[in-house]
Structure formats: structure tokens, C-alpha cells
């Protein structure tokens, strides 16, 4: 009953939110003593979860080459073919939910409580929200944001400034902590202050690694990631917004938006299917259904829906039976994952291997990452999987690091597609194949299973993959200080590869 109430409450709050709000105003939640912090905090969590588990889950799934457009539908041709500009409004709803929703509410909550634990929890959610904005857009309104009519057109800060700013906010808020437990209504981490501290440390770890690989104060942030791992004060379980159920009106929002009405737009992409088949991964059935034509898992070549029928010589009859459609049943009541234990363990494994030269600890965390993901998806022989030649720990340091990154990519499938896309950009793993989509189609034996593939139809000039999303058009309309237009091929600040 509690789950249903929280969902109805948060959904009711969201239903009032327009997609075209000025980010400095939030008319839905007027500052009033009658609207207390404990009532507002679930709406903050819901807004952030919604963008991660709905819009970002969808386009991140295409950018990470988990999803492709199914042959008999057309809704996501532009995502598959990277035909995206500001007019596509890809980030508009995310931008409004994060600024006019979560961040404005956090600011209001902070005026209504002096409980330091509450303020710390708000700061953690604020850091998560702004990390998401930067990882999509590279820049964000930050130092001048959320000032209302006193500054209706805030400046946009560069991503480095925002990252450094929210990291300092986390440090300052934690330094002020009292020993009292969280007193807000907190369905995310059940008022557990240690869990909130662990969540903050995981966010730090994720952001520090992006700063390191972005060439920003690498020595300083390397020391910080080593200290975080040495202290080992992270959350247990998953940080997941778990309020959905298998009932109409209470579905996971991605499922509700894309499948509850019977649409079938998503099918498996060739890279993820090829890699999971190579490694005999039993998790493939959690995400996808087998092809009706072959009774096996089949992936659609990226950006090639309009080409594949001709390549096969059956354009008149090419249809969904030739590919593996998304396994919709797994998503009906699926929680929205803001940080999985699996991702955390893979990040720890990376630090142990890259910076601590601790092979035993790296192996333990690598295997813990795989096990944690199996635990949430399938009842299968994880020990047998980990002993497989393609997955078992071993080889050179470079080969071990590659295994960490590849298994993290697999684990984030149907969990957190935004972070999967970000980690691909940070690590360049999976690598981008030198072969074209047609070459892979003609000779799969020449292809390194799991490599990313240039879309067969690719609207990025010169080819390549998505490196960011364009600025939201509602920001362009409402704020003259929105930076000049950026293309899908322009990297975010920490992506220097």
C-alpha cells in the first residue's frame, strides 16, 4: 500500500509539470509552510528517477547500442540513425523535470529545514541531478540558476565548474552532518544515513574517474579515488526507485510509455547480442526475446533498419520476426536504478587494477559486479559463467581492464542506460569497429563481437557515435545566455578521447 501511495503522490506532482517551464520558476510547488519538506522529498526523488528511467533510458539504450528500431515501426528511426538536433527536443522534458522539478524543490526544501542530515540528502540528489545535466549537455546553469525573477536568464557554467561545484557541496554538507537519522519521508534509502553517505561516495567515485580521464587534476583525483576505495564506505544493495507494480497506472514509466499500448519499437542491437552470445551469457533472455524466424537471439545492425531488407534480398517481407524484440515483461514493475551495486563494484575493480595494482582485489570486485547483476536478473550458474574463457579473470592488465568495462556494459543493460552511454564515452569500450555496418553484415567473422558499429545510415557528418545531446530548445527560447549550438558529435568536457 505504501508503494502505491508513493507512486500516486509522485505521479500527481509530475502531472502538473509543463515541458516548457522557465527553469528559474516552479509554480507547481509554491513556497508555503503547508507544503513541508517531508512531503516534497519523494517528488524530488521521483523527478530524478523519471528522467533516468524513462527518457534517458530510452535514448541511452540506442546510444549504448542496446536497442535498435524494430523493422515494422518507425518511432525511433532518428535515434537509430543519429538524426538529432535542437529541434528534436530530446532533452526538453528532462531539463524541465530536473530544473523546474527536482532542483527547484531541493532549493525550497533547504529553506524549510535545518536538519543537517536532511540537507545532506538533498545535496546528494542535487549532485546526481547536475551530474546528469552535464553528462548530457557538458554545460549547465549552475552558479546563477534557480534565482527566480531576480535572474531570469542565468549564465551557463562549463561542466568542469559544475562538477567541481557539486563535489564541494557534497564535502561541505557531509562535514556539517549531525548524528541524527534522516527524518524525511525517504522511500529511496529508507532514512538510512549510512546508505546516503555510501551513495554520495559512489557518486564521487563515478565523477572522480571522469575527471581523471578528462585530464583534469588527474593526480588529485587519483588520490581521492584510492582513498574512497580504501575506506570502503559505500552503499549496500542498489540505489533504486522501487515504487512500481504490475498493474495499470502503476507501471514502470518506460514500459508504460512505450509498451502498455502495445507498441513494438525496440529490438536488440547487433553489438550487445553478438557479445552476449559469444560469452554464452544467460542474461540475454532477461533483456530480449528470440527471433521467431531462427529461434535464436538476433540483433539489428545499428542504423540499418531501412537497409537490412535489401541486404537480405527480402525487403518486401522483412519484419520483426527476424530480430529479437525487447523483453517487455521484465520492465512492467522494474525499479529505476540510480546507482547499481554492480556498477559500483566494477568502478572499484577499475581503481584496484589501474591505480592500486592490486590484482586480487580487482578480481574480487570484478566478479562481485557480475554476481550482483546476475542476482537481479537471472537464476543461473554465475560461477560457470565467470569461468568461461572470454570472461574469466586473466591476461594482461589491459585485457583485464577491458573485461571490467565490457561486463559493466552488459550489466547496465536494462538497468541504467544513461550511465552505460557515459561509460562508453569515458572508456572507449566497447570500441568503435573499423568495419561498416554492411561489412559486418556481409562477413560477421571479420567483426570483433561487441564492438560498437557506425550506423548504416548516420546523420553525423563524417560518421561516429553520439557524444552529447543538443541543448534543449526550451532553454534556447527562454534564455538568451544558452551557449551556441552544439552538434551530436561534440564531446562533453570530460570526453577527450
343 half-sphere exposure, CB direction, 13 A CA radius = 27
**Contact between residue 196 and residue 182 where contact means Cβ atoms under 8 Å apart:** yes
Contacts of residue 292, defined as CB under 8 A and 6 or more positions apart, other chains included, come to 320, 321
Q: Residue 297 in contact with residue 284, Cβ under 8 Å?
A: yes
User: Which is it for strands 156-158 and 139-141: parallel, antiparallel or unpaired?
Assistant: antiparallel
Which residues 6+ apart lie within 8 Å of 257 measured at CB? 54
DSSP assignment, residue 483?
A: P
State residue 157 phi and psi, 5-degree precision: -95, 150
Q: How far is CA 435 from the centre of its chain?
A: 27
- CA proximity to 339, closest of 456, 196, 239: 239
Q: How far apart are CA 251 and CA 260, in angstroms?
A: 8
Nearest to 10 by CA among 242, 193, 228, 307: 242
Secondary element (H or E) of residue 339: strand 336-339
Alpha-helical (H) ranges within 318-378 are 341-354, 359-377
Query: Buried b / exposed e across 273-299, counting CB within 10 Å, b at 16+?
Result: bbbbbebebbbbbbbbbbbeeeeebbb
Output DSSP code: residue 326: B
Per-residue confidence band for 261, with pLDDT thresholds at 50, 70 and 90: low
Question: In which element (H, E) is residue 266 found?
Answer: strand 266-268
Average pLDDT in the 442-453 region?
98
Q: How confident is the model at residue 381 (pLDDT cuts 50, 70, 90)?
A: very high
* Dihedral sign (CA 471, 437, 309, 299): negative
Measured in degrees and rounded to the nearest 5, phi and psi for residue 318 equal -65, 130
Q: Taking 60 as the threshold, does the pLDDT of residue 15 lie above it?
A: no
- pLDDT, residue 316, reads 83
Instruction: Name the nearest CA neighbour of 85 among 405, 484, 487, 365.
Output: 487
> C-alpha distances in angstroms, 364 versus 17, 101, 227, 348, 376?
45, 40, 18, 10, 19
* Backbone φ, ψ for residue 267 (5° rounding): -130, 170
Question: What is the per-residue pLDDT for 34?
Answer: 61
pLDDT of amino acid 184:
79
DSSP state of 300: B
Q: Average of pLDDT values for 409-418?
A: 98
The distance in angstroms from the start CA to the end CA of the chain is 49
Q: Residue 29 above 80 pLDDT?
A: no
> In which band, very low, low, confident or very high, does the pLDDT at 249 lie, cut at 50, 70 and 90?
confident
Omega before residue 384 within 30° of 0, cis? no
Task: Return the pLDDT at 36.
Answer: 78
**What is the dihedral sign for C-alpha 241, 247, 253, 258?**
positive
> CA nearest 80: which of 255, 331, 265, 261?
265
Q: What is the mean pLDDT of residues 246-268?
A: 86
One DSSP character per residue, 114-174 reads --HHHHHHHHHHHHHHHHHHHHHHSEEE-TTTT-GGGGSSPPEEEHHHHHHHHHHHHHHHH
pLDDT at 147: 86
Residue 48 and residue 98 in contact, taking contact as beta carbons nearer than 8 Å:
yes
Least confident of 52-66, 173-187, 307-321: 173-187
pLDDT per position as a tens digit, 200-241? 999 999 999 999 999 999 999 999 999 999 999 999 999 999
Q: Is the pLDDT of residue 436 over 60?
A: yes
Residues 6 or more apart whose CB falls under 8 angstroms from that of 311 comprise 304, 438, 441, 442
Band (pLDDT 50/70/90 cuts) for residue 33 is low
Q: Which helix (H) or strand (E) holds 241?
A: strand 239-241
pLDDT at 35 over 90: no
Report the candidate in 208, 206, 200 with the shortest Cα–Cα distance to residue 182: 200
For residues 494 and 488, what is the distance between their CA atoms, to the nearest angstrom?
15
pLDDT tens digit string along 269-322? 999 999 999 999 999 999 999 999 999 999 999 999 999 999 999 988 899 999
**Mean pLDDT, rounded, of the chain:** 92
Positive or negative, the CA dihedral 207, 209, 215, 218 is positive
Amino acid at each position: 500500500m505504501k508503494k502505491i501511495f508513493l507512486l500516486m503522490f509522485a505521479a500527481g506532482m509530475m502531472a502538473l509539470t509543463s515541458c516548457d517551464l522557465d527553469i528559474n520558476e516552479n509554480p507547481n510547488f509554491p513556497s508555503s509552510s503547508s507544503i513541508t519538506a517531508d512531503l516534497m522529498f519523494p517528488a524530488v526523488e521521483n523527478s530524478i528517477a523519471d528522467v533516468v528511467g524513462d527518457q534517458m533510458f530510452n535514448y541511452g539504450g540506442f546510444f549504448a547500442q542496446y536497442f535498435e528500431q524494430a523493422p515494422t515501426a518507425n518511432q525511433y528511426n532518428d535515434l537509430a540513425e543519429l538524426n538529432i538536433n535542437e529541434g528534436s527536443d530530446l532533452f526538453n522534458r528532462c531539463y524541465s523535470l530536473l530544473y523546474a522539478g527536482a532542483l527547484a524543490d531541493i532549493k525550497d526544501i533547504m529553506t524549510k529545514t535545518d536538519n543537517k542530515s536532511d540537507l545532506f540528502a538533498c545535496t546528494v540528489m542535487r549532485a546526481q541531478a547536475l551530474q546528469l545535466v552535464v553528462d548530457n549537455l557538458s554545460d549547465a546553469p549552475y552558479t546563477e540558476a534557480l534565482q527566480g525573477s531576480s535572474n531570469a536568464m542565468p549564465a551557463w557554467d562549463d561542466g568542469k565548474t559544475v562538477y567541481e561545484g557539486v563535489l564541494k557541496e557534497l564535502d561541505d554538507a557531509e562535514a556539517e552532518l549531525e548524528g541524527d537519522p534522516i527524518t524525511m519521508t525517504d522511500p529511496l534509502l529508507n532514512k538510512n544515513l549510512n546508505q546516503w553517505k555510501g551513495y554520495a561516495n559512489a557518486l564521487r567515485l563515478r565523477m572522480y574517474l571522469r575527471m581523471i580521464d578528462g585530464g583534469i587534476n588527474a593526480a588529485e583525483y587519483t588520490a581521492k579515488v584510492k582513498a574512497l576505495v580504501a575506506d570502503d564506505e559505500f552503499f549496500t544493495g542498489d540505489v533504486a526507485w522501487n515504487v512500481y507494480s504490475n498493474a495499470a497506472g502503476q507501471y514502470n514509466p518506460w514500459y508504460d510509455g512505450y509498451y502498455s499500448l502495445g507498441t513494438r519499437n525496440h529490438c536488440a542491437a547487433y553489438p550487445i547480442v553478438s557479445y552476449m552470445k559469444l560469452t554464452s551469457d544467460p542474461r540475454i533472455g532477461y533483456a530480449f526475446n528470440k527471433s521467431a524466424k531462427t529461434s535464436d537471439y538476433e540483433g539489428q545492425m545499428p542504423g540499418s533498419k531501412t537497409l537490412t531488407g535489401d541486404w537480405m534480398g527480402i525487403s518486401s517481407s522483412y519484419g520483426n520476426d527476424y530480430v529479437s524484440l525487447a523483453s517487455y515483461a521484465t520492465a512492467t514493475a522494474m525499479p529505476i536504478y540510480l546507482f547499481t551495486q554492480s556498477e559500483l563494484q566494477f568502478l572499484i575493480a577499475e581503481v584496484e587494477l589501474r591505480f592500486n595494482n592490486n590484482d586480487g582485489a580487482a578480481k574480487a570486485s570484478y566478479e562481485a559486479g557480475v554476481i550482483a547483476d546476475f542476482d537481479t536478473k537471472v537464476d543461473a550458474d554465475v560461477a560457470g559463467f565467470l569461468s568461461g574463457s572470454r570472461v574469466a579473470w586473466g591476461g594482461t592488465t589491459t585485457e583485464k581492464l577491458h573485461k571490467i568495462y565490457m561486463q559493466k556494459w552488459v550489466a547496465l543493460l536494462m538497468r541504467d542506460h544513461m550511465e552505460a552511454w557515459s561509460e562508453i564515452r569515458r572508456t572507449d569500450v566497447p570500441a568503435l569497429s573499423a568495419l561498416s555496418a554492411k561489412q559486418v553484415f556481409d562477413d560477421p567473422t571479420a567483426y570483433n563481437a561487441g564492438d560498437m558499429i557506425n550506423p548504416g545510415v548516420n546523420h553525423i557528418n563524417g560518421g561516429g557515435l553520439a557524444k552529447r545531446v543538443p541543448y534543449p530548445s526550451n532553454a534556447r527560447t527562454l534564455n538568451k545566455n544558452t551557449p551556441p549550438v552544439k552538434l551530436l558529435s561534440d564531446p562533453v568536457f570530460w570526453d577527450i578521447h
